[in-house]
A and B are shown apart, each in its own frame.
Chain A
């Protein structure tokens, strides 16, 4: 097995990759994924010993996110010439214009060689131009476009539409529990009852996706807790009652806004529906739209926000990973809403239990508890699962969208 630069891939390279990710000096976003690893030892050219203090179920699924790099390369985050060992190798990146990869003729799996000679990825920011390009046959595939366009493209014989099952990404609201009004559990629960999920999916997602919400997982996932399905629905009476209980009767004294990044219509649509729901029971929250860099800084650094909608992923991963990575579920310093290990009694213990046992029954029971505790304290409401649509010319064969957006192109072919 060799890298794209011809070097042999050995256990030393895997150790180098894992150690680099774990090194805080490098600054890899995956560092938390590999958190439980204490040491990586090379046994021989093809074997490693990875040490953890106890059984850690998050480690093996986390490896799916790790791209092994040669130890001759440095640990720079943004490399000019990325080198891997996959079916396609990097050719060039012209910012705003194209990324080109070509077939790796020395790919290790000779039985499953890439079918395409090369792939050119073109960033086209304007949705209508992207769709026009595939309809005109100027490009072969458009990856992930607005679901509202799906019915139109499904009716057009020049393209074939493929859908991601709604599972990986869930619509959520980050809620700032550090300050009023959402320091009160009733105010957070009111938010959970405020979204008309059916209306959102019907009107803004072309009816595609899963309005069954409240859990990071769908009913296809082994860890899914069915009791979460109806914990929160759309009920304006409940919103009014809970807000009164929280100390804000008839909208008095309640001051908050929805922070929305420009260019993410779904976040704004959900925020607008929530705003309308609050208005109907006498509250007047504002919507504040800022560009994405500012949105991110206010969420993660200054914590200057009340509610912000997002669609984080990892709904298809092992729950050990779902609850240890990201900004919503783990009660760490990076938690956007300010969730601490003390916020929900028993939450951390249940997460650790699920992460550190191999008994599937016990794991399921532990994660059921995690989900039900989440429902009770509701640090962030979950509003169903997002699907994604892709459209290709009929000549594109064997394109199967990856559930977690880790798309492989090895089997995809193009018939002209």
Chain B
């Protein structure tokens, strides 16, 4: 058991190292030049060269990688060429927005997906199952930006009961904050819920056909107890993995929903950084997102033995 944990934790190190090389390499491979963008189209070639020298962009790529990696080891992710704010500061502003959006939309997704998924699996082939399948296909096909614009138009412009986009920070009151986050959470959560629901339904159907469920029923265990204690608990194990992966995606920021609702989150931050060739910000954020992804997966992996005794039993030497 200890060995399993140790191997999983140590395995993260080469992954993260590989990520730094990949992130740095890809970001610097994109054609374009921050000096040209910040100096503007009226600038002369000397002005642009001067800016490139100042930012060290005239150095070979491996030298720049070395400096960047050295800084990262010291916890310095760099600063923006444009706003002169550090990456940590920028992420400090954007991450709470994205984190709140991710949690709320995951909540929306789970609230829709869990009851609908369970009911669909239990009443497989019923009118509810068919209707849920139809709704989830529609949900999967509706583009997030369109749903977002429609929600803004209906609740923001027509009924005027919620703000038409924009973010209200928590300091300005919980109610105002939640009001600004409801629509984006619904737009994002609806899409996630359809995937989660299909997944939960499939894994629950697998479990319901398992031998131990038949045994439990044969023993005379009541149907709801079979469902709650035996079936759902087991079906939730793979569901947790999918939930973890979803959370990872959501933490990366969802560029489209953040743009539609004008939320100053991670997605827009990284997109603007890439478009501006703000290398330090782009590499810093992508690295953080990748690291968060790796860590969430690690946590999910570490949770497995807790959720599933079979994982523990499979490694008796630990």
Given known A-B contacts A24-B50, A94-B93, A126-B260, A300 and B80 have beta carbons under 8 A apart: no
Tell me if B51 is interfacial: C-beta within 8 Å of chain A: yes
B152 x A132 contact (CB < 8 A):
yes
Q: How far is the CB of A126 from chain B (nearest CB, A)?
A: 5
- Cβ of B94: which chain A residues have Cβ within 8 Å of it? 96
What are 13 of the A-B contact pairs (CB < 8 Å)?
Answer: A26-B50, A77-B38, A78-B84, A80-B84, A94-B264, A95-B83, A128-B152, A133-B165, A133-B166, A135-B157, A135-B164, A293-B276, A333-B44
16 additional contacts (CB under 8 A) given A78-B83, A95-B85, A95-B90: A24-B46, A24-B50, A27-B51, A27-B54, A31-B43, A78-B84, A80-B84, A124-B166, A126-B260, A130-B262, A133-B165, A136-B160, A136-B164, A138-B163, A297-B36, A301-B36
- Tell me whether A143 is interfacial, beta carbon within 8 Å: no
B85 & A132 in contact (Cβ 8 Å cutoff): no
Q: How far does the Cβ of B180 sit from chain A's closest Cβ, in whole Å?
A: 10
Cα distance, A26 to B48, chains bound together (Å): 10
Residues of chain A within 8 A of B198, CB atoms compared:
none
Provide the bound-state CA to CA distance between A31 and B30, in Å.
Answer: 29
Bound complex: CA of A137 vs CA of B156, how far in Å? 9
| A294 contacts B by Cβ under 8 Å | yes
Residues of B within 8 A of A133 (CB): 156, 163-166, 262
Residues facing A in B45-60 (CB within 8 A) are: 45-48, 50-51, 54
Do A29 and B42 touch across chains, with their CB atoms under 8 A apart? yes
Knowing A128-B152, A291-B275, say if A122 contacts B85 (CB, 8 Å). Answer: no
Top 4 nearest A-B pairs (CB, nearest first) are A293-B32, A97-B264, A29-B40, A136-B164
Minimum Cβ distance to chain A for residue B185 (Å): 16
Instruction: Determine if B166 and A126 form an interchain contact, defined as CB atoms under 8 angstroms apart.
Output: no
The residues in A between 101 and 128 inclusive whose CB is less than 8 angstroms from any CB of B are: 122-126, 128
Residues of A within 8 A of B80 (CB): 95
- A129/B50 in contact, CB under 8 A: no
Q: List residues of chain B with CB within 8 A of the CB of A297.
A: 31-33, 36
Interface residues of B in 131-182 (CB under 8 A from A): 145, 149, 152-153, 156-157, 160, 163-167
Tally chain B residues at the interface, Cβ within 8 Å. 53
A6 to B186, CA, bound (A): 48
Interface membership of A32, Cβ < 8 A: yes
B124 located at the interface, meaning its Cβ lies under 8 Å from any Cβ of chain A in the complex: no
- B300 within 8 A of partner (CB): no
Least CB separation from A29: chain B residue: B40
CA distance A393 to B296 in the complex (A): 46
Please tell me if the beta carbons of A129 and B42 are within 8 angstroms of each other in the complex. Answer: no
- Using Cβ atoms and an 8 Å threshold, which residues of chain A touch B160? 136-137
Distance between Cα atoms of A336 and B262 in the complex (Å):
35
Q: Which chain A positions have C-beta within 8 A of B149?
A: 126, 128-129, 132
Query: Is A406's beta carbon under 8 Å from chain B?
Result: no
In the complex, the answer to whether A296 meets B36 with C-beta atoms within 8 Å is yes
Contacts of B277 in A (CB 8 A): 293
Tell me whether B41 and A296 are in contact (CB under 8 A): yes
Q: Which of B31, B39, B272 has a CB less than 8 Å from the CB of A96?
A: B272
Partner of A126, one of B48, B156, B167, B259: B259
A396 interface contact, C-beta 8 A: no
Q: Does A352 contact B (CB under 8 A)?
A: no
A27, B47: Cβ atoms closer than 8 Å: yes
A293 and B275 contacting across the interface, CB-CB below 8 Å:
yes
* Smallest Cβ-Cβ distance to B273: which chain A residue: A95
* A125 to B: closest C-beta gap in Å: 5
Q: Given the known A-B contacts A32-B44, A325-B42, are A132 and B33 also in contact in the complex, defined by CB atoms under 8 Å?
A: no
CB-CB under 8 A from A126, the residues of chain B are: 145, 149, 165, 259-260, 262
- What separation, in Å, do the CA atoms of A138 and B180 have in the docked complex? 11
- A contact residues around B90 at 8 Å (CB): 95
Q: Determine if B249 is an interface residue (Cβ-Cβ < 8 Å).
A: no
Contact of B85 among A32, A80, A298, A327 (CB under 8 A): A80
Question: How distant is the Cα of A77 from the Cα of B84 in the complex, in angstroms?
Answer: 10
- Say yes or no: is A222 at the interface (Cβ < 8 Å to chain B): no
Q: How far is the CB of B97 from chain A (nearest CB, A)?
A: 8
Whether A125 contacts B82 by the Cβ 8 Å rule is no
Closest to A25 in B: B50
**A300 vs B37: C-alpha distance in the bound complex, in angstroms?**
11
* Inter-subunit contact B39/A27 (CB<8 Å): yes
Say yes or no for A344: interface residue by CB 8 A criterion.
no
Which residue of the partner chain, among A32, A95, A129, A137, contacts B261 with CB atoms under 8 Å?
Answer: A129
A177 to B259, CA, bound (A): 39
Query: In the complex the two chains form, is B38's CB within 8 Å of A292's CB?
Result: no
Please determine whether B259 and A125 come into contact, CB atoms closer than 8 angstroms: yes
Do residues A78 and B260 form an inter-chain contact, with CB atoms below 8 A?
A: no
The 8 Å CB contact of A298, one of B31, B40, B93, B275, is B31
Q: Is B201 an interface residue (CB 8 A)?
A: no
Q: Which residues of B contact A29 (CB under 8 A)?
A: 39-40, 42-43, 47
Give chain A nearest CB distance to B304 CB in angstroms.
Answer: 37
* A301 and B49 alpha carbons, distance in the complex (Å): 11
Contact of A129 among B44, B260, B264 (CB under 8 A): B260
Contact present for B276 and A333 (CB under 8 Å) = no
Q: Is the CB of B47 within 8 A of A129?
A: no
Q: Are A136 and B44 in contact (CB under 8 A)?
A: no
Q: Does A93 belong to the interface (CB within 8 Å)?
A: yes
Let me know if B264 and A96 touch, CB within 8 A: yes
Instruction: List the B residue with the shortest CB-CB distance to A95.
Output: B83
How many angstroms from the CA of A93 to the CA of B48 in the assembled complex?
25
Q: Please name all residues of chain A whose beta carbon is closer than 8 Å to the beta carbon of B28 when the two chains form the complex.
A: none
Q: Knowing A24-B47, A29-B42, A300-B41 are in contact, say whether A294-B36 is a contact too (CB < 8 A).
A: no
What is the minimal beta-carbon distance from B68 to any residue of chain A, in angstroms? 20
Q: Are B268 and A96 in contact (CB under 8 A)?
A: yes
Contact A333 B45 (CB under 8 A): yes
B44 lies within 8 A of A293 (CB): no
